[in-house]
Chain A
Amino acid sequence: GENVEQHPSTLSVQEGDSAVIKCTYSDSASNYFPWYKQELGKRPQLIIDIRSNVGEKKDQRIAVTLNKTAKHFSLHITETQPEDSAVYFCAAGGAQKLVFGQGTRLTINP
């Protein structure tokens, strides 16, 4: 079945440094790739998404890149801040459903 692999499972970076989280997907029909941020005990919230006709998208300190040929996509967070600490989930899918990665726990060290 469809599968999304996310790495790393945990990531610790110094405040101000960059963080990169990578995902690969198996279903070549996937055309929508969102990233969600989930703080402890709260709902996942969409932070950025990219569609299959775009290779890169940026929104202030966050950016996502997509390589459809290789079936992988990445989240980049620059100038990290303490409030970036959370669990981040990637997902791949389309109109019917999303398949989520297992999540990356990002910790920003002051």
Chain B
Amino acid sequence: DSGVTQTPKHLITATGQRVTLRCSPRSGDLSVYWYQQSLDQGLQFLIQYYNGEERAKGNILERFSAQQFPDLHSELNLSSLELGDSALYFCASSVVGGKAYNEQFFGPGTRLTVL
């Protein structure tokens, strides 16, 4: 158990809908990262938040957005869902602050199925 929690574990919805995925980082970690992993694919970095502020952006679609709250949990919002959005969505957390490197700990993931 990495200490990172994600809810829900599974989510099934229809095209055009909107969903929210939730992540709670490890105690003490200030950074949260979101990744998308499609079937048999690698981990695509979506976005990073550090202490409530957006820090880095990857290949995140305009239909997707995220935020990090004062208690450091994060939510990833996916809207106007398409079939191709079906994937595993992972959240990771790390302590970032004065370190040149970045050890990330992954949550168990949310499996999103869009029908």
Interface residues of A (CB under 8 A from B): 6, 31-32, 34, 36, 42-46, 49, 51, 89, 93-103
B16 beta carbon closer than 8 Å to chain A:
no
Interface residues of B (CB under 8 A from A): 2, 33, 35, 41-45, 48, 55-56, 58, 90, 96, 99-109
Given the interface pairs A89-B43, A102-B41, the reply to whether A46 lies near B103 with Cβ below 8 Å is yes
The answer for the CA separation of A98 and B103 in the assembled complex, in Å, is 9
Seed contacts A43-B2, A45-B2, A103-B42; 8 additional CB < 8 Å A-B pairs: A36-B106, A43-B106, A46-B105, A51-B100, A96-B48, A96-B102, A100-B44, A100-B45
The answer for the CA separation of A42 and B96 in the assembled complex, in Å, is 25
Total contacts A-B at CB 8 Å = 65
Given the interface pairs A44-B106, A102-B42, the reply to whether A95 lies near B96 with Cβ below 8 Å is yes
Task: Evaluate contact between A95 and B104: CB separation under 8 angstroms.
Answer: no
Residues of A within 8 Å of B102, CB to CB, are: 32, 93-98
Interface pairs A-B: 6 shortest CB-CB = A32-B101, A102-B42, A43-B106, A100-B43, A97-B56, A96-B56
The answer for the CA separation of A96 and B33 in the assembled complex, in Å, is 10
Task: Evaluate contact between B48 and A44: CB separation under 8 angstroms.
Answer: no
Interface of A is mostly: strand
Given the interface pairs A44-B43, A89-B42, A89-B43, the reply to whether A98 lies near B106 with Cβ below 8 Å is no
Residues of B within 8 Å of A95, CB to CB, are: 96, 99-102
Given the interface pairs A31-B101, A96-B55, the reply to whether A43 lies near B45 with Cβ below 8 Å is no
Task: Evaluate contact between A99 and B101: CB separation under 8 angstroms.
Answer: no
Residues of B within 8 Å of A102, CB to CB, are: 41-42
Identify the interface centre among A36, A44, A99: most chain B CB within 10 Å of its CB. A44
The answer for the CA separation of A97 and B42 in the assembled complex, in Å, is 15
